[in-house]
Amino acid sequence: AQTVTQSQPEMSVQEAETVTLSCTYDTSESDYYLFWYKQPPSRQMILVIRQEAYKQQNATENRFSVNFQKAAKSFSLKISDSQLGDAAMYFCAYKGSGGSNYKLTFGKGTLLTVNP
Amino acid sequence: NAGVTQTPKFRILKIGQSMTLQCTQDMNHNYMYWYRQDPGMGLKLIYYSVGAGITDKGEVPNGYNVSRSTTEDFPLRLELAAPSQTSVYFCASSARAYTGELFFGEGSRLTVL
């Protein structure tokens, strides 16, 4: 079974600085998808960024980028120019690519605090 | 655009009571999911549906039931509530299963005393 590990329960960053959140996963599949979801204090979870395992290029969405290391099964999220609105719980998630695979496996989350 | 709407947002139940968490989405998504989130843990999948009339168990289905009579609605029923079901419940939907992009509701905090 796939597992997703986020080893940093909490992280903090100064406003305008850069922070990296770590995620590792375990899988025997060669094709899959990885995600970072953000859960602000209001609790509605939203997708931040997605990475397809078959793509070599790291995904980027504005100030958010990933460092995807397939061989190491590592998928970290870098937030540049951190803003107060980035404060949230961040979840790393994995999804297999099989036709009947509908399930996302989530890590336990990293609580990010942004200090003014 | 409402997206995914869950009701109620908060509820306190006594042990042994039953209740239904409602979930509605207006995006015409075929795929819908119920997750629970316990403190310090990630989300665990309870049930999911790939379309009207089709449901299946996730990781932690015991103590719950679902139905999917329409594309829009995916209610989650708790029968004989137990303290172990104290959690925050999230409903989500997606247009395509393979992309993994889920749209979540705001959650329902349930306490069983």
Check CB contact of A50 with chain B, cutoff 8 Å: yes
Specify the pLDDT at position A42: 73
Task: Give the residue among B2, B5, B1, B21 at the shortest CA–CA distance from B13.
Answer: B21
Helix ranges (H only) for A45-116 are none
Residue A4 has pLDDT above 80, yes or no: yes
Query: Who among B90, B100, B106 is closest to A35 (CB)?
Result: B100
Contacts of residue A30, Cβ cutoff 8 Å, sequence gap at least 6:
A53
Contacts with B100 from chain A: Cβ below 8 Å? 33, 35, 50, 93, 95, 104
Contacts with B104 from chain A: Cβ below 8 Å? 44-46
The confidence band for A1, taking pLDDT boundaries of 50, 70 and 90, is: low
Report the amino acid identity of residue B24.
Answer: T
Higher pLDDT among residues B22 and B98, named by residue: B22
Residue A99 has pLDDT above 60, yes or no: no
Check CB contact of A103 with chain B, cutoff 8 Å: yes
pLDDT tens digits along A11-56 = 999 999 999 999 999 998 888 999 999 999 877 899 999 999 988 8
Check CB contact of B41 with chain A, cutoff 8 Å: yes
Contacts with A43 from chain B: Cβ below 8 Å? 88, 106-107
Task: Give the residue among B46, B52, B48 at the shortest CA–CA distance from B78.
Answer: B46
Which DSSP symbol is given to B27? S
Specify the pLDDT at position B99: 72
* Beta-carbon separation of B48 and A103 below 8 A: yes
Contacts with B59 from chain A: Cβ below 8 Å? 103
Q: How far is CA A73 from CA A2, A54, B98, B102, in A?
A: 11, 13, 20, 23
As a whole number of angstroms, the distance between CA A78 and CA A65 comes to 5
Q: How far is CA B37 from CA A70, A79, B61, B110, in A?
A: 28, 25, 14, 11
Query: Who among B50, B90, B100 is closest to A33 (CB)?
Result: B100
Specify the pLDDT at position A31: 87
Check CB contact of B38 with chain A, cutoff 8 Å: no
Residue A74 has pLDDT above 80, yes or no: yes
pLDDT tens digits along B44-81 = 999 999 999 999 999 899 999 999 999 999 999 998 99
φ, ψ of residue A105 to 5 degrees: the values are -105, 125
Check CB contact of B79 with chain A, cutoff 8 Å: no
